[in-house]
Structure 1
Amino acid sequence: MADSSKRAARLAKEITAFAKSHGGSAEGQIAYVGQVGARIVLVGSDGTWGDLMAPSVESAREAAERADLTLRETFDGEMAEKVRTGPYEWTRMAGIQIGGPSNT
Structure 2
Amino acid sequence: MADTTQASPKDEKRAQRLAHQITAFAKSHGGSAEGQLAHIGRGTVRIALVGANGEWGTLVAPSQETGRRAVEIAGLTLQDDFDGELAAKVRTGPYEWKRMAGIQLGGPRNT
TM-score by length of 2: 0.87
Match of 2:30 among 20, 23, 40: 23
RMSD: 1.3
Counterpart position of 1:74? 81
1:93 match: secondary structure: helix
Q: Where does the alignment leave 5 or more consecutive residues of structure 1 unmatched? A: none
Task: State the distance in 2 between where 1:84 and 1:76 align.
Answer: 13
Within-5 A mapping of 1:1-104:
2-35=9-42, 37-104=44-111
Percent identity over the alignment is 65
Task: State the distance in 2 between where 1:27 and 1:97 align.
Answer: 32
Rg larger in 1 or in 2? 2
Offset of residue 96 of structure 1: 3.4
Task: State the distance in 2 between where 1:75 and 1:90 align.
Answer: 18
Q: Where does the alignment leave 5 or more consecutive residues of structure 2 unmatched? A: 1-7
